[in-house]
């Protein structure tokens, strides 16, 4: 994500007057997408017109060209500004040479084509990359926060204009607290949480685990909201296909899960699972 607007563009309107609505979606996994869920989300965006759609990774299943082509065709239909972060499935899986030397080539094409800098009232979005082309651990799907990526996010947080909520966007949860089991530890995740909170972050959005969550993490007395989105793919776990609707009003962030199949899984309008 290239950024969230020019600091100089902030008009100085009072914090209390800002109202922004964001649809937070993750883990679409084109190649294994749930076509009904994708169509439902697309219709909802067109009907309700959120201020932005934030995608926290895993656009594709195996980073194949045809999967990125399908993801690009879908993004072209969305009638809303978009930001997207890379997920572990967005790096080449079957081509080790491409993974090492050009891991983000196909992802970058999508990002450059569809992302535009955002200047959302009351909100300051800050990207944090948690993917890696390689790591010493056997499971390369697990998250890694590089020192460079963390430094860039901290610097971006320090540019946050007064009166905006600072929201970090990444793919992997930075801690396992409140998250369904099996996602693996994000290397330097807890260190990153302390650094982000210290730099003024108010919330961190992520995906990866395919189940929504919303927890408050205490960073040396500074509360940090951690919000995870579910999935719009066939690869559901305990929850039905869903996305999060975030609203920022009067300086407060609220989140609710929008579920595709209320008759089976409950209301379409409910707080994110605690």
Mean pLDDT calculated for residue range 228-234: 96
- List, as one string, the DSSP characters of 110-139: HHHHHB-----TTEEEEE-----S--SSS-
**Contact between residue 192 and residue 172 where contact means Cβ atoms under 8 Å apart:** no
**Contact between residue 8 and residue 128 where contact means Cβ atoms under 8 Å apart:** no
Domain ranges across the chain = 7-271
pTM, full prediction: 0.89
- The overall average pLDDT reported for the chain is 88
The pLDDT tens digits of the residues spanning 87-114 come to 999 999 889 999 999 999 999 999 999 9
Q: Work out whether strand 242-249 and strand 165-169 pair parallel, antiparallel, or are unpaired.
A: unpaired
Q: How far apart are CA 57 and CA 84, in angstroms?
A: 7
Residue 128 CA from chain centroid, whole number = 10
Residue 260 has pLDDT above 70, yes or no: yes
**pLDDT band per the 50, 70, 90 thresholds, residue 267:** very low
Which helix (DSSP H) or strand (DSSP E) does residue 218 occupy? strand 213-219
73-76's contacts with Cβ under 8 Å and 24+ in sequence apart are: 74/28, 74/30, 74/38, 74/42, 75/110, 75/113, 75/114, 76/114
pLDDT at 266: 43
**pLDDT band per the 50, 70, 90 thresholds, residue 236:** confident
pLDDT at 264: 41
Q: Is the domain covering 7-271 a CATH 3.60.21.10 domain?
A: yes
pLDDT at 179: 75
pLDDT at 269: 53
DSSP-derived letter for residue 89 is G
């Amino acid at each position: 994500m290239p950024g969230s607007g020019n600091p100089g563009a902030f008009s100085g309107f009072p914090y209390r007057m800002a109202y922004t609505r964001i649809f937070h979606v993750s883990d679409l996994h084109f190649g294994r997408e749930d076509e009904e869920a994708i169509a439902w989300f697309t219709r909802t965006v067109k009907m309700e017109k959120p201020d932005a759609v934030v995608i926290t990774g895993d656009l594709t299943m195996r980073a194949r060209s045809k999967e990125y082509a399908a993801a690009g065709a879908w993004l072209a239909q969305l009638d809303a500004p978009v930001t997207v972060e890379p997920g572990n499935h967005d790096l080449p899986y079957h081509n080790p040479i491409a993974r090492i030397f050009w891991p983000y080539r196909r992802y970058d094409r999508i990002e450059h084509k569809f992302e535009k800098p955002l200047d959302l009232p009351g909100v300051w979005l800050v990207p944090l990359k948690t993917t890696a082309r390689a790591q010493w651990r056997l499971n390369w799907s697990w998250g890694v926060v590089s020192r460079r990526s963390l430094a860039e996010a901290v610097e971006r947080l320090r540019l946050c204009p007064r009166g905006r909520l600072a929201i970090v966007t990444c793919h992997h949860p930075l801690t396992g607290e409140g998250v369904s089991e099996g996602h693996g530890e994000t290397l330097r995740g807890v260190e990153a949480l302390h650094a982000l909170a210290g730099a003024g972050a108010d919330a961190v959005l992520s995906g990866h685990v395919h189940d929504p969550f919303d927890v408050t993490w205490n960073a040396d007395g500074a509360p940090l909201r951690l919000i995870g989105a579910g999935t719009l793919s066939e690869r559901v776990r305990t929850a039905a296909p869903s996305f999060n609707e975030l609203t920022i009003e009067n300086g407060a962030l609220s989140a609710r899960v929008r579920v595709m199949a209320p008759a089976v899984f409950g209301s379409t309008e409910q707080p994110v699972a605690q």
